[in-house]
Structure 1
Amino acid sequence: MQGAFDQGYFIVRSLLGAEEMQALGSAIDRDEGIRAHAFDIGDGEGRSSKLSLWSHPGSDVTGMLARCEKVAGTMEKVLGGEVYHYHTKLMMKEARTGGSHVWHQDYGYWYKNGCLFPDMGSVFIAIDKTDKENGCLQVIRGSHKLGRIEHIMVGGQTGADVARIEEAKKVLELVYVELDPGDALFFHANVLHKSDRNDSDRRRWVFIISYNRASNNPFKKHHHPCYTPLHKVPNSAILECKNIDDITGKDFMDPSTDETIKPEKK
């Protein structure tokens, strides 16, 4: 299973079934729940996306998703050992207004959080259909083998060295990751990825769960959690969970504490 990251990523179609997607939607569509903690991230070009980010999975439906075998268990297999929940994001690009995200590696900034090794990865789950028109994710196949690239602030985001990106694109394949609702992209923390703005009449919401190897515990405290044991649950826990509104214990991020982004001022 560790060879699954040979290209830096892989796609699992229909990771979540229709009933599981309905349960997830019930949890995130509520204005007073997870979305109440959202903030805007500008793209430096007059547009923005909304982001909610939390440190601990919790015991609601979204927590069961982050703790289940087909998500957390799969990430343990591809990373080669015990993992813990680093954070989860609800990323919301609204129709006609959703901003772009610059080329970056997640480890480009997780490195600065005290993680010595890139033994980290994320699961990108499509809530809506994602395609070129509404700003789907783009990845550079095999770019995790480049190692960590220097990152700087670009607009309100942390982005990778543009000149290095252009050279990488000459020798590596650019892939548009188009997904249907419930499809998932598992990708390594050093994979270069970006997304364009949403120029369509459709929203583009995605759910992104990130994990760190337990053996890669950060050597300093920061705004993301240090090692916290992850209590995995069977896949059936997603549908068995009746908690869609109690978000106790998730520890939502205050964007003012994260130096890798500049939230837009209202």
Structure 2
Amino acid sequence: MELSAKQLEQFDRDGFLVFPDLFSRHEVAVLRREVARLSQVTGDEVVREHTGGVRTIFRVHENDGPTRSRPFRALVRTPRLLRPVQQVLKDDAVYVYHTKINTKPAIEGTVWQWHQDYGSWKRDGCARPDMATFNVMMTDTTEMGGALYLIPGSHKLGRIEPVYDESTSYKFWAMPKQRMREILKSSPEPVAVTGRAGTCVLFHCNVLHASGHNLSADDRWHIYVSCNTVANKPQLGDNPRPDWVVSRNWHPLPIEADGGVLQAA
């Protein structure tokens, strides 16, 4: 899939692009079966809510490790996903920084606070914000179900120094609350990305985004494929985050034939 000049202009302006129904219901069904299987895995790669439900499953795109998955490995190499990432990053040598499945179980799935991904990734040692994330919805997504919200144009603010948030089961670097209030008052209305399973959103690493509690009766399953250019690989410090969060596999991803998800089932 090749992005048009108009789409590239929109990405530069808003910091994100939405692709309705990019993956078929058959592909989504394959991915959902994998999520159900991976949810039974125990280990550091699987983060659980305080109630015991799965919050996040990391590192599903590799061919080794407890959370390895052939369908998700195929997903990150599909031209529908990888080619747009190459285009917005202006570099064909792209690798997966990490993959994570956020499940947001019905009723108990909790929030992800306002943050920029590059808030953490610069701390990992990535010198430039030459990074983006491709989110694939594996379930129908509604606002009540904990949709992802993005603030159009917020990537143009540049990186804002984050604060360490420990209020949820997955501790991470989030936006300072007072600064976030100021931004919300002066920015366009946040956009809730809703749609049917198979809908996707590609967003810049400095776009401010968040998601709320899943108040609905249905689980909300999304996979986030975060990508970096090989030239921007992190200069790891003395105490780097583990490889299931910050990949050490810096080989550029090849674009493979479309249909790989179904073939890997």
TM-score, normalised to structure 1, is: 0.83
User: Which of 40, 52, 59 does residue 48 from structure 2 map onto?
Assistant: 40
Amino acid corresponding to residue 76 of structure 1 in structure 2: Q
Cα deviation per residue 1:99-137 (whole Å; 9 max; x = unaligned)?
A: 111100000000000000000010111111111111101
1:137 aligns with 2:144: no
Counterpart residue number, 1:121: 132
SS in 2 for 1:153: strand
The residue number in structure 2 matching 1:69 is 79
The match for 2:182 among 160, 167, 175 is 167
The answer to whether the aligner puts 1:53 opposite 2:58 as a matched pair is yes
| Cα distance in structure 2, aligned partners of 1:4 and 1:79 | 14
Output the aligned Cα RMSD: 2.2
Superposed displacement of residue 48, structure 1? 7.7
Instruction: List runs of 5+ in structure 2 lacking aligned partners.
Output: 64-68
SS at match of 2:76: helix
- 1:101 lines up with 2:125 in the alignment: no
- Whether 1:239 aligns to 2:262 is yes
What is aligned with 2:27? 20
Amino acid at match of 1:103: W
Contact preservation (8 Å) 1:90, 1:205: yes
Give the Cα–Cα distance (whole angstroms) in 1 for the partners of residues 38 and 88 of structure 2: 35
Distance 1:61 1:55, change over 3 A: closer
| Cα 1:164–1:215 shift into 2, 3 Å | same
Q: CA deviation at 1:15?
A: 1.1
Q: Secondary structure at the match of 2:55?
A: strand
| Secondary structure of 1:67 counterpart | coil
Distance 2:58 2:220 in 1: 17
2:66 is aligned to: none
Structure 1 residues 186-195 or 175-184, which shifts more? 175-184
Matches within 5 A, 1:135-214: 135-154=146-165, 155=167, 156-173=171-188, 174-214=190-230
Q: Which amino acid aligns with 1:51?
A: T
Mark the CA change 1:105 to 1:41 in structure 2 (over 3 Å): closer, same or farther: farther
The amino acid of 1:3's aligned partner reads E
User: Matches of 1:35 and 1:16 in 2, distance apart?
Assistant: 29
TM-score (norm 2): 0.83
AA aligned opposite 1:234: A
From 239, 244, 247, give the equivalent of 1:225: 247
1:31-86 deviations in Å (ceiling 9; x for gaps): 576687521256xxx99861111175337011000111111111001110021111
